[in-house]
Amino acid sequence: MGIDRMSIEDRIALVQEIWDSVAGEGEQVPISDAQRTELERRLADSIARPGAVTPWEDVKAQALARARQ
C-alpha cells in the first residue's frame, strides 16, 4: 500500500477519514463479554461513589496542561 511513503500530513488525513467512517457505525461494533463486564463494573462504581469520579473536562484539561510542559 505504500503508506510509509505518504507524508505525515496525508497519513493523518487518512486516519481521520477512516476514524470518521468507523465512528459513524459505532453501534455496530460488538464488545466482548469482558468489556461489557468492565463497563458495568465502572458504571456501578460511579453510581455508588459519585464523588470519586473525575469529569472528562478536568481529565482533558490536566492532560493538556501536562502536554504543554
5-62 pLDDT, tens digit per residue, is 999 999 999 999 999 988 877 677 789 999 999 999 999 999 999 888 888 999 999 9
> Which phi and psi angles does 29 have, rounded to 5°?
-85, 115
Q: Which residues contact 31 (CB under 8 A, 6 or more apart)?
A: 39
Distance CA 12, CA 2 (A): 14
pLDDT of residue 1: 67
pLDDT of residue 40: 97
Residue 61, Cβ neighbours under 10 Å: how many?
11
